[in-house]
Amino acid sequence: MTDHTHLGNRPAPAEQTATPTPTPFPIYSDVEVHNLPDPDWMVEDLFMTESLVALFGSSGEGKTFVSLDLAFSIATGQPFHGREVVSGEVVYVYAEGAPSLKFRVDAWKIENGWAMNETASVWFIPTAVDLAGEDEDELQGLLATIRTRVSSPTLVVVDTLARCFGSADENSTQAMNRFTSRCAAIKEELGCTVLVVHHTGWEGGRERGNKSLRNNFDTVIACSKPTRGPVKLECKKQKDASAFDPVKLTLTEVHLDGGHTSCVLRSGASCESDSIALDDEATTVLNTLGSLGEDGATFSAWKTAVEKDVTESTFKRRRGELIGDGLVTSPPSGKGTRGFRYQVTPKGRAVLKRGEVQNEVDPSSGPPPSPVRSGAVSVPVEIVDGQWDRLGFNSGPNGSMDRSDSSGSGGGAYRAPHEPGAPRCGSAPRAANHAA
């Protein structure tokens, strides 16, 4: 008999490998765990395969354009702005503003050299699915629907959490746990990554609702866009890797056939500077905080000091925007705001010192001619008060591009006048470059 006393408390190595007995749950030895395959990046440095990902941002700051760009990059195998991807079919639950979907898809295809009649393997479910309800009927219905067209999707996008939360309370731990469990069930059943698009909370510094979302997800990404600045993606949680450096992308408007418009994202190399231009309201709110001393001020003291210049609702909105732009310090996540003293950040002080106040555009003069790029007429997009603004001409509310749409952040695409001398951009296919 072999003497194993020299091994101390370690067990003796097995003399032979027994045949595993079928069990309801998987069970692995430490050696078997070591031999499991390493996880892969679905999008290099951003998030991994078979993971749960949350992308959150304020209304009108480009988060759906980001998620659509991610979806099409993964479906086509095209790098996401220089980052390699694991390719495969994508299912996109597009629960907000279905009328805008056609124009956003067309804009991506034109920008990336795909013909309108050429499939990129992104499948859309243009309706809300209740993933937070008491029963699982909608979850099972979603899975059954997906399987009718896609056997093994690589990515499932849920856009947005709010529209797919039913009548449940986002602040409820129980309801949020149900939602995250359903997302995990989609991941397990289909062997895919699940990306959930969500809104910021009222304070502007974190995702809205119960903290169980962040606790239960693997990766959390903040999407923000200061006025005149780039769309910025920042890592707020990366469970099993280092946080990625901020990603900056240019959100650019393109004109489509028939006078319609939408937007596309372009890589950070073409981004404008981080210079932030504030309008008079935002400058007043930021200046007031700065005047209250280097130690800053509580919410109540700041609100009282500025109330003669702006309404309470305007103050709250502007405060959230200033926090999102990194001009004002943000309360610690999950700690609430009671007693917290807001301060102007060094970046905020630099903006005030430069005195960059947003200039108004005279509508009677009309917009300047748009540059032509890759077969699409394009102009930079700005956001004013959370709304799309095309060089000074406000469009619809809550990020909508439809001037008549007041239904929320889903939006549509407005019919913009055609600039003199600029060619119309039709839906005729360009020479495809995706095979390169």
Residue 180 in any domain: the answer is yes
Of 4-8, 17-21, 88-92, 192-196, the poorest mean pLDDT is in 4-8
Domain co-membership, 230 together with 171: yes
- pLDDT per position as a tens digit, 177-187: 999 999 999 99
- Mean pLDDT for 381-387 is 40
Domain co-membership, 209 together with 295: no
For the cut 80, the answer to whether the pLDDT of residue 267 exceeds it is yes
Measured CA to CA, the distance from residue 187 to residue 201 in angstroms comes to: 26
Q: Share the mean pLDDT of the chain.
A: 78
User: Omega before 304 cis (within 30°)?
Assistant: no
Residue 140 in any domain: the answer is yes
Please report which confidence band the pLDDT of residue 269 belongs to, taking 50, 70 and 90 as the band edges: very low
Residue 414 in any domain: the answer is no
Residue 3 in any domain: the answer is no
Q: Which helix (H) or strand (E) holds 318?
A: helix 312-324
Give the predicted TM-score (pTM) of the model: 0.63
End position of a domain, from candidates 221, 252, 270: 270
Domain co-membership, 306 together with 162: no
Please list, in sequence order, all residues whose beta carbon lies within 8 angstroms of the beta carbon of residue 211, skipping any fewer than 6 positions away.
Answer: 333, 334
Domain count, the chain: 2
For the cut 90, the answer to whether the pLDDT of residue 108 exceeds it is yes
Q: Which one, of 428, 104, 416, 111, lies nearest residue 260 by Cα? A: 416
Domain co-membership, 236 together with 304: no
The pLDDT assigned to 330 comes to 80
Residue 406 in any domain: the answer is no
- Mean pLDDT for 24-48 is 93
The pLDDT assigned to 259 comes to 87
Domain co-membership, 57 together with 173: yes
Q: How many C-beta atoms surround the C-beta of residue 90 within 10 A?
A: 27
Domain co-membership, 219 together with 309: no
The pLDDT assigned to 411 comes to 34
Report which of residues 32 and 15 the model is more confident about. 32
The pLDDT assigned to 324 comes to 73
Amino acid at 186: I
The pLDDT assigned to 298 comes to 92
197 three-state secondary structure? strand
Cα→Cα distances 287→226, 293, 353, 360, 376, Å: 17, 11, 10, 20, 41
Residue 370 in any domain: the answer is no
Measured CA to CA, the distance from residue 35 to residue 283 in angstroms comes to: 57
Pairing relationship of beta strands 382-384 and 387-390 according to DSSP bridges = antiparallel
Domain co-membership, 163 together with 115: yes
End position of a domain, from candidates 354, 381, 416: 354
Residue 107 in any domain: the answer is yes
Domain co-membership, 211 together with 74: yes
Please report which confidence band the pLDDT of residue 276 belongs to, taking 50, 70 and 90 as the band edges: low
CATH at 248: 3.40.50.300
- pLDDT per position as a tens digit, 120-177: 999 999 999 999 999 999 999 999 999 999 999 999 999 999 999 999 999 999 999 9
Domain containing 307 equals 280-354
Report which of residues 422 and 146 the model is more confident about. 146
Domain co-membership, 295 together with 226: no
End position of a domain, from candidates 252, 270, 288: 270
The pLDDT assigned to 10 comes to 58
- Mean pLDDT for 20-28 is 86
The pLDDT assigned to 60 comes to 85
Domain co-membership, 98 together with 181: yes
The pLDDT assigned to 319 comes to 86
Domain co-membership, 94 together with 235: yes
**Tokens read off for 298:** 């509580």
The pLDDT assigned to 279 comes to 82
Q: What DSSP designation does 45 have?
A: T
Domain co-membership, 165 together with 262: yes
Residue 428 in any domain: the answer is no
CATH at 298: 1.10.10.10
Q: Which helix (H) or strand (E) holds 249?
A: strand 247-255
